[in-house]
Amino acid sequence: MTSFRFLHTSDLHLGKRFGQMPEETRQDLQQARQQILPRLIAVAREHGVGHVLIAGDMFDTETPSDRVWRQALAMMVAAEDLQWWIIPGNHDSAAAETLWAGWAKHASENIHLLMQSDPVLMAPGVHLLPAPCRHRFAGQDLTRWMDDHATPEGELRIGLAHGGVLNFGSEDGGGEVISPQRAASAHLDYLALGDWHGTFVLDPRSRYSGTPEADRFKHAGLGQCLLVELPGAGKMPEVRSVETGSYHWQEYLLELTPTADVLALLQALLPSQRSDWHRHLIRLRVEGWATAPQRLALQQAVADLSPEFCHFILEDSRLRSEHLQSDLETIAPSGALRVAAQDLMQAAEDASLAQEERDIASAGLNRLFAYARHEDDAALPEAAT
């Protein structure tokens, strides 16, 4: 037979609310998810692909709004040149009877919702072996049946499943039930997996596609799908990642010392194309040691830059402070405020105190320093006049 090509994708999580994000960011991310299907359709047509495999979690919950699932279905129905092969995942399992009954009622012939572990013929000589999630927590390896299902010799066997694999781990934890040897034991030419939100190669025949639109810092970069070509039965698949996402998610680690040039280090981490910053979500983790001026400079720089990004969060809870005598002069040359600052510095450096107490004292001293610098900066224009 001739080669067979298709797109492998999963974890679209349509309808995801991003409730932990600020309102403006949440709106941007929700709008990006609404464009996932048009982008997948465009990729399929660009590469001359007629089949799209969705390995579970098309929806973020078992109860997406009618607007979410009806609009998604309408886009797929309109792409009548594509055949869609879909299994429920753990987020939108087959237990979501209302959702999938409504889906089946409005679906067209080019949409194949696979609710049972029954083989289907995708194309002449191409057998699809689906393993839909019947419930949120499977409790068993839903792909085991593939080992015992025979197909004619010389024809392609493609597995479609959702969940974690042994010794690898599920995105949600507790779904670690798929054998990592399934492709070999079931003589699959390719095993299309979903659940892990980043692309992952389990073996040459078994891959997680990752989500087409990234949704967490755990998996950096743009979302993508996989373009898969099977040259023939028993031959190794040819797989290529195709970027489909709109937003970059990136976590950076910045390690500081009291002599470091904080602003230069921060600038070196930022994406090179400033015009694209609005498409980036950044979590900046800062560790090491810093002086009060360094810490304040970093906080001010992040506050100044963050509006240009889709989202920018600074996490400095693991950044320790080195306090200098000059900090006290900045806070107050004398008086009660100076005494309070001296007491905080002494507590921050007192090895006999519990670390939590020392950290509280250090944080208080940093706050006093920032307040004093703010007051000094506010007074500068008056002094100039």
* C-alpha distances out from residue 22 to 19, 27, 90, 226, Å: 8, 9, 27, 31
pTM value surpassing 0.75: yes
Distance CA 104, CA 111 (A): 9
End-to-end CA distance of the chain: 86
Give pLDDT, residue 172. 56
Closest C-alpha to 198, from 176, 174, 175, 169: 169
Write down the pLDDT at residue 167. 58
User: Phi then psi for 344, rounded to 5 degrees?
Assistant: -65, -40
Q: In the sheet where 51-55 sits, what is the strand order?
A: 111-113, 83-87, 51-55, 4-9, 224-230, 238-243
Rounded Cα distance, 180 and 161, in Å:
12
Instruction: Give the DSSP per-residue string, 173-185.
Output: SS-EEE-TTHHHH
Q: What are the tokens at 184?
A: 């070999």
Query: pLDDT value at position 381?
Result: 47
Mean pLDDT by 10 residues, the chain (385 residues): 91 96 96 96 97 98 96 97 97 96 96 96 97 87 95 96 75 67 97 96 97 94 96 96 96 96 96 95 97 94 97 95 89 89 90 92 90 67 39
DSSP 8-class letter at 334: S
At residue 281's C-alpha, the angle toward residues 211 and 24, to 5°, is 100
CA angle (112, 118, 120) in 5-degree steps: 50
Residue 78 CB contacts under 8 Å (≥ 6 apart), including other chains? none
The per-residue b/e assignment along 56-86, b for 16 or more CB within 10 angstroms, e otherwise, is bbbbbbbebeeebbeebbebbeebeebbbbb
Q: What is the pLDDT of residue 2?
A: 74
Q: 164-165 and 120-123 as β-strands: parallel, antiparallel, unpaired? A: unpaired
Side-chain half-sphere of 347: how many Cα atoms within 13 Å?
A: 17
